[in-house]
Amino acid sequence: MTAYSAADLRQMLSRLRDVMAGIGSVQERLDKLVALIAHGLKADVCSCYIMRAGEVLELFATFGLSQRAVHITRLRVGEGLVGEIAAHGRSLSLADAWSHPAFVYRPETGEDFFRSLMGVPMIQAGRIMGVLAVQNRDERPFNDWEVETLETVAMVIAELTTTAQIVKREELFPAEGNALLPVRLSGSTLNAGLGLGQAVLHKSHVRIGRLLSDDPAVEHGRLQSALNTLRKDVDTLIDSSHGEVSDFGDILEVYRMFADDRGWISRISDVINTGLTAEAAVQKVSDDTRIRMMQMNDPVFRERLQDLDDLANRLLSILAGGGMRTELPDNAILVCRSLGPTELLDYDRTKIKGVIMEEGSPTMHAVIVAKALGIPVLSQVHGALNRIDAFDLLALDASAGHVFLRPSEDLQEMFAINAAARQRQRAVYAASKDLPSVTLDGVQIELQINAGFLIDVQALAETGASGIGLFRTEMQFLAMPILPDVKLQRTLYRQAVDAAGGKPVTFRTLDVGGDKIAASWSAGKENNPAMGWRSVRLTLDRPSVMRQQVRAIIQACEGASLRVMFPMVATISEFDDCRRILDMEIERHAKAGGVAPRTIAVGTMLEVPSLIWQLDHLLTRIDFLSIGSNDLIQFVYAADRGNTRIANRYDALSTPVLRMLRFIAERCIAVNKPLSLCGEMAGKPLEALALMALGYRSLSMAPDSVGQIRDVVRRTVLADVEEFMISQIDSNSASLRTEIKSFAQDHGIIGEGIAV
């Protein structure tokens, strides 16, 4: 077959447009479309499968197969070649389809004589709407241009089927529950807080009115004009944020980098050349990117996908001549699949009482912005868009991880009481932020915060914390589309040092796996990345990455205190290698005439159990030790904390964990080596109480936890808690949680509103 050209594709799309705009039912037009596609691609068969309820693909129209199979043949997602295409969202081209292991024969279709197959997913707004497939009698290899042609045609048909609502929206969602009773949905807390208000469904997808164009030059001009407007809009958004931009300005700068990405713009231009309008080209590139990236296991790539979705939606809105801002009720709770940072900022933020997302993760940019604005966020609320209707009354408890639909008056009243109590408690914590963190018997407990972005550093002043016990440097690596160079890293780290206002900042070197930051390294997929090629294992294998990072940290700490710790160290030799690189860069900095840091302290994280049996020798080499309790506990119990089935199976207050932590503390105290703990344990009242009793005098936690832990410290007679722990820690109990809780309540340590 002669290769298709862009002109051939435009001609076919023009004929498709005439059919779509013509008279007749949707079924009649679909029948004409599949015939037209078969003739245009010189195929013997063209079939259109539409997604129905329960992830079932139904044959809706065909040219070449038996008409008796229409609306009869159905395949589950993942079943057969058509089901495989829908399951993975990827096109498939086979010269001999029958030899493929996923092939499923359906006799009612009459496809006995057709050997080759080319199928593509029908995608609309990032969702699989169905599958479009062509077949031939001969073993015909389809070329890349033919696949791209069918993908473009599939997008056009997907838009038609959605606009015509071939499958009604309500048919896709099962009805359940009682409309008169409140329904509770659960999710993951990304920013704690309470919100009571009306649901506002975030409509991020812009409906495209015109898909096909006869003049690519005009569309290129429209695209360039829209891109210019997009860049101006982002600049205006940054300027209009005033003081807030200091909290999340780095996020908007990253967003602006995406807007200037030449690869993204080039792909859109290429699609315009095939005969689509500028907005249809933007949508096609966006859908293709979404489907590809959703196949990746790495959540970080999915987080960056939200920025690209945000960007595409804004560009589509400009091309469509509309604006992004939506009028809100005074007490709005946004409900969405996901959210981009500028989409959130487009709303009147004074009226937003909460955000509920079906997707979402802690490091996505919209969440960082929401934290800066004090907006509660609940993520991973599966089925939220299906179950929640516009203007439903919602009671959002992002702290507990729940949202109640259509709450009763009693529930609303109870919610209001709890919200008021929490507000009073927050006021108490705020009023006590400058009080010393000292027990009733005079023991000083240092409370520090964990940080990852500049926005987190401002919590030092808000909470009265004594410093940053853990600054996660990887957050900036993950936020950038490329590895940040020394200059950019130095700027970010210096901003953190300056924002800390003289309080210590402990920088943890890069703690991610290779798949997260550099696909070009070809690390390959790992079955257990938490225990694989990550942290210092990665940076020691790629020393240039570590050298550049510690070089940037040294330069950022000129004239200030330099505190660096290395993560995931499993052997003393690994620490020695890391220290050697750091010393090399300190010497390099001095020879270049750089200003030396005022003081230098080098430590390590204790996360790998093997290091416990090297502890005495390690303590002679380090200036301080920090326990990473999250990883340490999961490694001790061989329990993946990301696995919901077992994440809560083993308690941090179990006697094995407490004995291990006591052993580490005793060794550090014996040689007067500073010791801290910076995992989730530090920010929980009962766990913090136990840690203090075991000898821990420095705890680093999420900023929101500082107030309640300070309150616990100031209510405690530490000598009494130590005596109690001595009597309990060598018992055979699986956990001491109940005993510690009873002790804390009996001694008035846990006050009103303290969550345990």
Measured distance CA(19)–CA(65) in Å, rounded: 21
Q: Which CATH architecture has domain 467-608?
A: Alpha-Beta Barrel (3.20)
What's the token pair of residue 128?
């699989």
Measured distance CA(535)–CA(508) in Å, rounded: 10
Quick check: 347 and 334 in contact, CB under 8 A? yes
Q: Is the pLDDT of residue 54 over 90?
A: no
Q: Is the pLDDT of residue 637 over 50?
A: yes
pLDDT digits over 188-233, tens only?
A: 888 888 888 888 888 655 667 677 787 888 989 998 888 888 888 7
What's the token pair of residue 746?
């009996």
What's the token pair of residue 212?
């096909």
* Residue ranges covered by each domain of the chain: 6-166, 183-203+326-423, 216-319, 434-446+629-677+679-756, 467-608
Q: pTM surpassing 0.75?
A: no
Q: What is the pLDDT, as a whole number, of residue 250?
A: 56
For residue 426, give every residue at least 6 positions away whose Cβ sits within 8 Å of its Cβ, in sequence order, or none.
Answer: 707
Helix (H) or strand (E) holding 377: strand 377-379
At residue 368, the 3 state secondary structure works out as helix
pLDDT digits over 469-489, tens only?
A: 999 888 667 655 567 789 888
CA distances from residue 710 to 443, 546, 696, 704, 754 in whole angstroms, order as listed: 12, 36, 14, 11, 11
pLDDT digits over 429-449, tens only?
A: 888 889 999 999 999 999 999
pLDDT digits over 715-726, tens only?
A: 999 999 999 999
Q: Pick one of 3.30.1490.270, 3.50.30.10, 3.30.930.10, 3.30.450.20 as the CATH number of 183-203+326-423.
A: 3.50.30.10
Q: Is the pLDDT of residue 685 over 90?
A: yes
Q: What is the pLDDT, as a whole number, of residue 307?
A: 65
**Residue 476's CB: how many other CB atoms inside 10 A?**
21
Residue type (1 letter), 725: M
Quick check: 328 and 348 in contact, CB under 8 A? yes
Q: What is the pLDDT, as a whole number, of residue 493?
A: 92
Q: What is the pLDDT, as a whole number, of residue 465?
A: 95
Q: Is the pLDDT of residue 546 over 50?
A: yes
Q: Is the pLDDT of residue 166 over 90?
A: no
pLDDT digits over 608-635, tens only?
A: 999 999 999 999 999 999 999 988 998 9
Q: What is the pLDDT, as a whole number, of residue 654?
A: 93
More confidently predicted of 460 and 254: 460
End-to-end CA distance of the chain: 71
Q: Which CATH architecture has domain 216-319?
A: Orthogonal Bundle (1.10)
Angle among Cα 171, 177, 180 to the nearest 5 degrees reads 115
Which alpha helices (DSSP H) does 464-534 contain, by range? 474-479, 486-499, 514-517
**Residue 575's CB: how many other CB atoms inside 10 A?**
23
Q: What is the pLDDT, as a whole number, of residue 575?
A: 97
For residue 86, give every residue at least 6 positions away whose Cβ sits within 8 Å of its Cβ, in sequence order, or none.
Answer: 49, 51, 57, 77, 78, 121, 128, 130, 131
Query: Cα-flanking dihedrals φ and ψ of residue 164, to 5°?
Result: -80, -10
Which alpha helices (DSSP H) does 1-143 contain, by range? 6-21, 26-40, 80-88
More confidently predicted of 679 and 566: 566
Q: What is the pLDDT, as a whole number, of residue 539?
A: 87
Q: For the chain, what percent of residues have pLDDT higher than 90?
A: 36
Q: What is the mean pLDDT of the chain?
A: 83
β-partners of residue 132 are 48, 120
Instruction: Give which of 677, 701, 704 is closest to 691, Cα–Cα.
Output: 677
Highest mean pLDDT pick, 48-52, 338-342, 527-531, 692-696: 692-696
Helix (H) or strand (E) holding 686: helix 685-693
Q: Specify the range with the lowest mean pLDDT, choosing from 49-63, 96-110, 168-182, 340-354.
A: 168-182
Q: What is the average per-residue pLDDT within 526-544? A: 80
What's the token pair of residue 103?
């092939």
Tell the burial category of 644 from Cβ atoms under 10 Å away from its Cβ (0-12, 13-18, 19+). exposed
Measured distance CA(749)–CA(711) in Å, rounded: 8
More confidently predicted of 536 and 325: 536
Quick check: 554 and 589 in contact, CB under 8 A? yes
Measured distance CA(660)–CA(681) in Å, rounded: 14
- Secondary structure letter of residue 22 according to DSSP: S
Q: Return the CA Rg of the chain.
A: 29
Using the structure block, give the residue that is written with the tokens 């940019």: 365
Q: What is the pLDDT, as a whole number, of residue 118?
A: 94
Q: Specify the range with the lowest mean pLDDT, choosing from 75-79, 112-116, 303-307, 546-550.
A: 303-307
Q: Is the pLDDT of residue 170 over 50?
A: no
Quick check: 463 and 453 in contact, CB under 8 A? no
CA distances from residue 383 to 4, 176, 252, 333, 579 in whole angstroms, order as listed: 42, 12, 30, 16, 49
Domains 183-203+326-423 and 216-319 share a fold: no
Residue 28's Cβ-side half-sphere holds a number of Cα atoms within 13 Å equal to 6
Measured distance CA(613)–CA(363) in Å, rounded: 34
pLDDT digits over 406-423, tens only?
A: 887 777 888 777 777 777
Phi-psi sector, 466: left (phi>0), alpha (psi -120 to 50), beta: alpha
Q: Is the pLDDT of residue 257 over 70?
A: no
Q: What is the pLDDT, as a whole number, of residue 602?
A: 97
pLDDT digits over 357-382, tens only?
A: 988 776 676 777 787 777 899 988 98
What's the token pair of residue 14?
């023009």
For residue 221, give every residue at least 6 positions away whose Cβ sits within 8 Å of its Cβ, in sequence order, or none.
Answer: none
Superfamily of domain 6-166: GAF domain (3.30.450.40)
The hierarchical CATH code for the domain 434-446+629-677+679-756 is 3.20.20.60
More confidently predicted of 171 and 688: 688
Phi-psi sector, 22: left (phi>0), alpha (psi -120 to 50), beta: beta
CA 461 to chain CA centroid, nearest Å:
28
Strands across the sheet containing 402-405: 183-186, 402-405, 393-397, 194-201, 332-336, 352-357, 377-379, 188-191
Q: Is the pLDDT of residue 645 over 80?
A: no
CA distances from residue 237 to 230, 312, 315, 479, 696 in whole angstroms, order as listed: 11, 17, 15, 19, 45
For residue 80, give every residue at least 6 positions away whose Cβ sits within 8 Å of its Cβ, in sequence order, or none.
Answer: 102, 103, 104, 106
More confidently predicted of 270 and 257: 270
Q: What is the pLDDT, as a whole number, of residue 194?
A: 86
Quick check: 693 and 662 in contact, CB under 8 A? no
Q: For the chain, what percent of residues have pLDDT higher than 70?
A: 82
What's the token pair of residue 527?
């079955």
Q: Is the pLDDT of residue 165 over 90?
A: no
